[in-house]
Structure 1
Amino acid sequence: MGYFRTAILLAAMTALFMGIGYLVGGQTGMVIAFLVAAAMNLFAYWNSDRVVLSMYGAREVDERAAPELYGLVRKLAAEAGLPMPKVFIMDNPQPNAFATGRNPDHAAVAVTTGLLERLSRDELAGVLAHELGHVKHRDTLTMTITATLAGAISMLANFGFYFGGSGRNNDGVGRIGGLLLVILAPIAAALVQFGISRSREYEADRIGAEISKRPLSLASALRKISSAAEQISNPPAERNPASAHLFIVNPLSGARMDNLFSTHPNVENRIARLDEIAARMGQSASGVETFEPAPRSSGPWASPQEGGWRRRGPWDQA
């Protein structure tokens, strides 16, 4: 089903590219746009994850560089029945995370330094489980390709505005048409983006709660991340808003309403659903123990001694 949705998405993006190409350059422009779209589809399928990770300056870490984080991801991946994904850290003070990759065998999970510094171990486990939920549900391919192609459509629309014709050419759109391209093409791409991301966050929350068995810890993490994201900017995300839907919580300033033009459902709605899941699991807010992060003497995740938590959580080995 994931590959079918991706095929539909690529077809829709190709059609949009061809429509813009026709408006900009007539039949010739449409043919050129088709060839460009075909090349971009191939590139996006094989390389979109690398593009997104590079966009955010994510660096890959292993068990030696980040033993606590790596070990936690490994435990959760085993619990989910997934291959071990690659693990990345982004040097970014805003607490947030995303998953990417074309399938579970080529998946990656990326977290910000702000996330590692602000969350307890149980909360971090909930966030990582949510991202693995996207991997398990095979959302990452569609979400990552959407980020790549939506950004490309915005660039093409701007190209159409500046080079799309001056009104002397019947095949062109003129300055007014070019302005419409700038406005409508990114909106069309964004609508596809919004449509695929909102319901998937709810589903990833559900799967993440099942994997971590700590729905209330995930709810607590969402509340912390959302609050911090309102105060701490994420410059790479602001420069590349087409990738905002990848994150567990909207990294952009404003627009956190649960409506058509939001990349994410309202956080309180997500928390309410997690509360319902916790109730079905027989958990209550008062029965969940959290683990506060300890001050770190040097770089994040340098060693279990230089970081970690004051108390051992449920994902530590006994």
Structure 2
Amino acid sequence: MNGYFRTAMLLAGLTGLFLAVGFMLGGQSGMVIAFGIAVAMNAFAYWNSDKAVLRMYGARQVDANSAPQFYSMVQRLAQRAELPMPKVFIIDNDQPNAFATGRNPENAAVAATTGLLSRLSAEEVAGVMAHELAHIKNRDTLIMTVTATLAGALSMLANFAMFFGGPHSNGENRNNPLGIVGVLLVSILAPIAAMLVQMAISRSREYEADRMGAEISGRPDWLADALEGIQSGAARVPNQQAENNPATAHMFIINPLHGRGMDSLFSTHPRTEERVRRLRAMIMGGSVPPRRPASTPPRRGGSVPDAGGRNPRKGGLPWG
């Protein structure tokens, strides 16, 4: 119920933002139009936002034939998590990263970049996908995806403000109660509001997904190692698709953006160092095995071949 309550509150807040922006741009008539747009966007976001985000990143769906190792890994993890098998996607992007989406566990999808599959070991990829399945199990994906879609819509509204809310040739806009001041306010504040909307995703949900993901895989050290590798890779490799759609940044396991100053201010991701510390504390606490089996030493590069044709690691998942 908490997930549905958070989603309802988010939708109500975004609807209020649309109404406020509509009033600032066009008075009462603008507010009515904005209300209609908000209702339509809310309905679209609930039913189609996952598909929109996957299309936005050019994700391609894979199956047991097109990506056998990766698909089998997700399948085994989903079984361990007692979840329906999600749809599996691969994104052609060199930055190592991943996200989950979908309005409920029965209509969920997980997506990983080619950079993640080629740069991380099989164990580390398993740790990441277990984290994403934890988001699905906790029903975080609906609010994450709805936020991405509607926050992006707010940013687009700001871009249109100068065209639809600007003063007429006579220097006045009778429908805009604040005139050019209202247009400027929308242009400046709407993008900030979109970033604040991303913060509706509580950072505690990432900690909870880390914890549950470690339980699903049985190895918090896999996810801890993966987070360190993804953080390093994301800092070096740009993700242009994410830079063009910053409202989706909170969906990824690690912030994909490079504008660090503003990202730190509005980030929904906890500090990677703290996430790693908590995961390693789970090992020290004795809730999981303290080290990897000797037969599966950590190794980066080419661990899951489905994205780039590299050779898979022998034996599949260590616990498979």
**Both proteins in one fold, TM over 0.5:** yes
Establish whether residue 284 from structure 1 lines up as the match of residue 290 from structure 2: yes
State the one-letter code of the partner of 1:225.
I
SS at match of 1:195: coil
Conserved 8 A contact 2:199-2:268: yes
C-alpha change, 1:313 and 1:299, in structure 2 (3 Å) is closer
C-alpha change, 1:258 and 1:212, in structure 2 (3 Å) is farther
State the one-letter code of the partner of 2:197.
V
SS at match of 1:165: coil
Aligned twin of 2:267: 262
Aligned twin of 1:84: 85
Establish whether residue 119 from structure 1 lines up as the match of residue 105 from structure 2: no
SS at match of 1:95: coil
State the one-letter code of the partner of 1:253.
H
Output the CA distance in 2 between the equivalents of 1:220 and 1:118: 12
Aligned twin of 2:68: 67
State the one-letter code of the partner of 2:109.
A
Q: 1:245 aligns with which of 245, 250, 253?
A: 250
Conserved 8 A contact 2:250-2:269: yes
Establish whether residue 182 from structure 1 lines up as the match of residue 187 from structure 2: yes
Output the CA distance in 2 between the equivalents of 1:285 and 1:315: 13
Number of equivalent positions: 313
Output the CA distance in 2 between the equivalents of 1:233 and 1:67: 28
Aligned twin of 1:169: 173
SS at match of 1:89: strand
Output the CA distance in 1 between the equivalents of 2:306 and 2:274: 36
State the one-letter code of the partner of 2:186.
L
State the one-letter code of the partner of 1:250.
N
Q: How does 1:96-175 map to 2 (within 5 A)?
A: 96-166=97-167, 168-169=172-173, 171-172=175-176, 173-175=178-180
What RMSD in Å do the two structures reach over aligned CA positions?
2.3
State the one-letter code of the partner of 1:78.
Q
C-alpha change, 1:70 and 1:134, in structure 2 (3 Å) is same
Percent of aligned positions with the same letter in both sequences?
Answer: 59
- Please, which moves more after superposition, 306-315 or 136-145? 306-315
C-alpha change, 1:215 and 1:132, in structure 2 (3 Å) is same
Conserved 8 A contact 1:79-1:211: yes
State the one-letter code of the partner of 1:309.
R
- Larger RCO, structures 1/2 (Cα 8 Å, 6+ apart): 2
- Residue 8 of structure 1 deviates from its aligned partner by 1.0
- Residue 89 of structure 1 deviates from its aligned partner by 0.4
Output the CA distance in 2 between the equivalents of 1:294 and 1:224: 11
Q: Per-residue displacement from partner, 1:152-206 (whole Å, max 9, x unpaired)? A: 0111122223321326235413333222212212212221211314221111111
Q: Per-residue displacement from partner, 1:13-45 (whole Å, max 9, x unpaired)? A: 111000100110001000010001101111111
SS at match of 2:73: helix
SS at match of 2:266: coil
Establish whether residue 10 from structure 1 lines up as the match of residue 11 from structure 2: yes
Runs of 4+ in 1 over 3 A off after TM superposition: 256-260, 282-291, 293-296, 310-313
Aligned twin of 1:216: 221
- Please, which moves more after superposition, 252-261 or 225-234? 252-261
Aligned twin of 2:307: 300
Structure 2: 5+ residue stretches without partners? none
C-alpha change, 1:29 and 1:250, in structure 2 (3 Å) is same
SS at match of 2:186: helix
Establish whether residue 54 from structure 1 lines up as the match of residue 42 from structure 2: no
State the one-letter code of the partner of 2:318.
P
Output the CA distance in 2 between the equivalents of 1:258 and 1:17: 24
- Residue 286 of structure 1 deviates from its aligned partner by 7.5
Query: How does the TM-score come out when normalised to structure 1?
Result: 0.92
Q: Per-residue displacement from partner, 1:41-70 (whole Å, max 9, x unpaired)? A: 111111000000000000000001111111
Structure 1: 5+ residue stretches without partners? none
Q: 1:192 aligns with which of 192, 197, 217?
A: 197
